[in-house]
């Protein structure tokens, strides 16, 4: 969704998505290129989420904007 945090957002809307145990969630700001792939890094999804976020930042940062990358894995209860 377009906008700048704290700058007149129209309405904050919650979104709900199914999230299976062991799945990886990756969220990023627009400072990360939108067309990234993990194909050059086989096995990366099995590693710690912080490593995945760091690799995405290193390889796909636009370098002309600030960037945020968050990665997390839902563990079984």
Q: Residue 13: what pLDDT?
A: 80
The helix (run of H) or strand (run of E) holding residue 50 is: helix 49-60
Task: Tell me the pTM.
Answer: 0.76
- Domain limits of the chain? 24-73
Over the stretch 3-57, which tens digit does the pLDDT of each residue have?
A: 666 676 667 788 898 888 889 999 998 889 988 988 999 999 999 999 999 999 9
CA atoms within 13 A on the CB side of 55: 18
pLDDT of residue 65 exceeding 80: yes
């Amino acid at each position: 969704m377009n906008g700048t945090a704290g700058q007149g957002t129209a309405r904050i809307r919650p979104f709900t998505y199914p999230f299976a145990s062991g799945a990886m969630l990756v969220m990023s700001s627009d400072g990360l290129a939108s067309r990234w792939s993990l194909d050059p890094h086989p096995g990366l999804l099995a590693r710690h989420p912080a490593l995945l976020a760091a690799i995405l930042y290193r390889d796909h940062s636009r370098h002309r904007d600030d960037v945020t990358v968050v990665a997390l894995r839902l563990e079984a209860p």
